[in-house]
Amino acid sequence: MSTFIDGLSLGSIYALIALGYTMVYGIAKMLNFAHGDIIMVGSYAILTTLLMNGHPVLAIIAAVVICTALGVLIEKLAYKPLRGASPLAVLITAIGVSYFLQSVAQLIFGAQTHPISLVHFPPVVIGGVTISVSAIISLVVGALIMTLLTLFIKFTKLGRAMIAVSEDRAAAKLMGINVNMIIMVTFAIGSALAAFASTFYVMQIPNTSPTLGSMPGIKAFTAAVIGGIGSIPGAMLGGVLMGVVEKISLSIPVLAPYTTALEFSLLIIILLVKPTGLLGKKRREKV
Amino acid sequence: MALLEVRDLEVYYGVIQALKGISFDVNEGEIVTLIGANGAGKTTTMHSIMGLIPVKHGSVTYEGQLINKVPSHKIVKLGMTQVPEGRHIFQELTVYDNLLLGGYIENDMKKIKADIEDVYSRFPRLKERHSQIAGTLSGGEQQMLAMGRAMMSHPKLLMLDEPSMGLAPILVDQIFEIIKEFNKSGTTILLVEQNAGKALEIADHAYVLENGKIVLSGTGAELAASDEVKKAYLGG
């Protein structure tokens, strides 16, 4: 039971990150491989605020503000000039941005691991089951954020414009939608979600290093592909699935050493059965 | 001064020149049509006017303002939009959401709702299909949705790219009736059609495009009577 809750909690972290990949892919039609490193930047924002004796809440706000601004800045400086360039050029640029962010973090903070003590809750025991409070918080707040995002996309004008751009960019322009602005907003939202993911991540694994974002980044990307890249509910489903599989596998001694291999095998198996991912759709053309 | 003035328009796809210096006018209140074979440059002309593809040489002037370099979404705000070839409705959204997006440049929700009612009264079929996913509509309904959606932004100049493509003859007649109605209610129309006969019937002015150049022009009736047009585009 507690393994399952831990799994859901880790899953909601992966889902938050996966949403950033999937939204950017759906709307800007690019894979932002620097997205994982936004999590790392978020963790250093938290670390720095705490080192300056900032309140943990302030640390979280700092992470959200800095990550959002950074996401928008990266889009403007690195990706926007490549609008209309070959997808390969954009992909390589994204990988470059990823290394750039890691190198800058290493330059400022060094390569070593820094401990972060954001908050510490003693675990609670409910009905004989030990449950981590930070896991519950990640799970509940993560679910709340994802619900708000879904409502935002479904029921606001901006959300509708985002769907329009992801479905048909040229037609969206003909509605008077400023596509560049929508792409910027998408990066802002994706990066803000990554900041929350970062917060929950350091609550559970209380340290950071310049390569912190790599593993959760690649796992969340896998989650996004499992769910069907471009699909928002798909990213949530894929993320939760990855988290639960990871925690359950880690709790079984025979499987534990092979956990990462198992997670990526999940991707291969799902793509063999359903190449578009669990909730991914094939584009239909109707004449 | 014409509402839209196109002068010496040249457009390239890579090294291939798609438009080789096109000039024409669209006067306020008119229906103007561009006819020509596949690949003659009709769609390219429309896309370059809308800013969807870059103009290499020449100028596009709308209400006296040079709009070559104006991004598409701002052109829509100036009062011009396009019903693209193949409709390009938002397949995964409902009919209603498609119309809401058509009214994107309007901020007053009351006005948007009134406009949607107006579209529904012109196209009762869309009202019946209000909450249906647009991708599941028939071809004719999709064309109506695309036209209704375009009207939501109250264009002064509406460009229609092959509105009759792939539709049954009875629907084609209906679509042309609607175009005439739009025009009567004050919308200037620039129409691209392969169905040259139909297009010339309703056009005040017509231009024949061939290989990226205008080779003939005149009133709709003049071109419909011309031997060259009859031979090449009207099947005899």
**pLDDT per position as a tens digit, A219-251:** 999 999 999 999 999 999 999 999 999 999 999
Q: How many CB pairs under 8 A join A and B?
A: 76
* Annotated domain spans of chain B: 4-88+155-233
pLDDT band per the 50, 70, 90 thresholds, residue B176: very high
- The mean pLDDT value for B116-125 works out to 95
Q: Looking at CA atoms only, how far is residue B226 from chain A in angstroms?
A: 32
What CATH number does the domain located at A2-273 have? 1.10.3470
Give the pLDDT confidence score for residue B111 in this predicted structure: 96
Q: Does residue B132 sit in helix, strand or coil? A: coil
Per-residue pLDDT at A282 exceeds 70: no
Whether A192 and A64 have beta carbons less than 8 Å apart is answered as: yes
CB contact under 8 A, A171 and B142: no
φ, ψ of residue B12 to 5 degrees: the values are: -120, 145
- Which residues in chain B have Cβ-Cβ distances shorter than 8 Å to A168? 88, 90
Rounded to an integer, what distance in angstroms lies between the CA atom of residue B26 and that of residue A7? 64
CB contact under 8 A, B90 and A163: yes
- The mean pLDDT value for B193-210 works out to 93
Whether A209 and A260 have beta carbons less than 8 Å apart is answered as: no
Per-residue pLDDT at A281 exceeds 90: no
pLDDT band per the 50, 70, 90 thresholds, residue B103: very high
CA neighbor of A14 nearest in space, from A247, A194, A261:
A194
Q: Looking at CA atoms only, how far is residue A105 from chain B in angstroms?
A: 38
Give the pLDDT confidence score for residue A244 in this predicted structure: 96
Rounded to an integer, what distance in angstroms lies between the CA atom of residue B37 and that of residue A207? 66
pLDDT in tens, B14-42: 999 999 999 999 999 999 999 998 889 99
Dihedral over alpha carbons B59, B60, B63, B66 (to 10 degrees): -50
Strands (E) in chain A, as ranges, are 114-115, 124-126, 129-131, 207-208
**B54 at interface of A, judged by CB pairs closer than 8 A:** no
DSSP string, A176-221: T--HHHHHHHHHHHHHHHHHHHHHHHHHHS-EE-TTTTHHHHHHHH
Beta-ladder partners of B210: B213
pLDDT band per the 50, 70, 90 thresholds, residue B194: confident
CA neighbor of A205 nearest in space, from A37, A10, A14, A75:
A10
Q: Residue B126 carries which side chain, given as an amino acid letter? A: L
Query: Which B residues 20-49 touch A at CB under 8 Å?
Result: none
Per-residue pLDDT at B235 exceeds 80: no
CB contact under 8 A, A170 and B73: no
The enclosing H or E element of A151 equals helix A133-155
Give the pLDDT confidence score for residue A160 in this predicted structure: 96
Nearest by CB to A176, from B84, B104, B165: name it. Answer: B104
Give the pLDDT confidence score for residue B150 in this predicted structure: 97
pLDDT band per the 50, 70, 90 thresholds, residue B126: very high
The per-type count for chain B, helices as H runs and strands as E runs, is 10, 10
- Which residues in chain A have Cβ-Cβ distances shorter than 8 Å to B147? none
**A161 at interface of B, judged by CB pairs closer than 8 A:** yes
- Which residues in chain A have Cβ-Cβ distances shorter than 8 Å to B71? 173, 178
CB contact under 8 A, A167 and B86: no
Give the pLDDT confidence score for residue A286 in this predicted structure: 38
**A147 at interface of B, judged by CB pairs closer than 8 A:** no
Rounded to an integer, what distance in angstroms lies between the CA atom of residue A235 and that of residue A11? 10
Per-residue pLDDT at A284 exceeds 50: no
Other Cβ atoms closer than 10 A to B15: 5
CB contact under 8 A, B84 and A161: no
Whether B233 and B208 have beta carbons less than 8 Å apart is answered as: yes
Query: Which B residues 91-150 touch A at CB under 8 Å?
Result: 91-93, 97, 100-102, 104-105, 135, 139, 142, 149-150
- Which residues in chain B have Cβ-Cβ distances shorter than 8 Å to A173? 50-52, 71-73, 76
Rounded to an integer, what distance in angstroms lies between the CA atom of residue A228 and that of residue A241? 13
Q: What is the DSSP letter of B21?
A: E
Angular region, B79: left φ>0, alpha ψ -120 to 50, beta rest: left
CA neighbor of A190 nearest in space, from A202, A180, A179, A182:
A182
Per-residue pLDDT at B9 exceeds 80: yes
Nearest by CB to A164, from B50, B90, B142: name it. Answer: B90
What CATH number does the domain located at B4-88+155-233 have? 3.40.50.300
Nearest by CB to A286, from B76, B142, B150: name it. Answer: B142
Query: Which A residues 177-236 touch B at CB under 8 Å?
Result: 177-179
**A269 at interface of B, judged by CB pairs closer than 8 A:** no
CB contact under 8 A, B84 and A171: yes
pLDDT band per the 50, 70, 90 thresholds, residue B236: low
Per-residue pLDDT at A285 exceeds 70: no
Instruction: Please state, rounded to an integer, the average pLDDT across all residues of chain A.
Output: 93
Rounded to an integer, what distance in angstroms lies between the CA atom of residue A102 and that of residue B112? 48
- The mean pLDDT value for A131-147 works out to 91
Share of chain B above pLDDT 90, in %: 90
- Which residues in chain B have Cβ-Cβ distances shorter than 8 Å to A160? 93, 97, 100-101
Q: Residue B119 carries which side chain, given as an amino acid letter? A: V
Rounded to an integer, what distance in angstroms lies between the CA atom of residue B7 and that of residue B61? 8
Q: Does residue B164 sit in helix, strand or coil? A: coil
CB contact under 8 A, A167 and B150: no
- The mean pLDDT value for A249-272 works out to 94
Per-residue pLDDT at A106 exceeds 60: yes
- The mean pLDDT value for B95-107 works out to 96
Rounded to an integer, what distance in angstroms lies between the CA atom of residue B164 and that of residue B176? 8
Nearest by CB to B104, from A170, A177, A287: name it. Answer: A177
Strands (E) in chain B, as ranges, are 4-13, 16-26, 31-36, 57-62, 65-66, 80-83, 157-161, 188-193, 205-210, 213-219
Q: Looking at CA atoms only, how far is residue B225 from chain A in angstroms?
A: 32
Q: Least CA distance to B164: which residue of chain A?
A: A287
Write the ipTM: 0.93
Q: Least CA distance to A177: which residue of chain B?
A: B73
Tokens of A212: 């912190």
Rounded to an integer, what distance in angstroms lies between the CA atom of residue A106 and that of residue A113? 10
CB contact under 8 A, B153 and A286: no
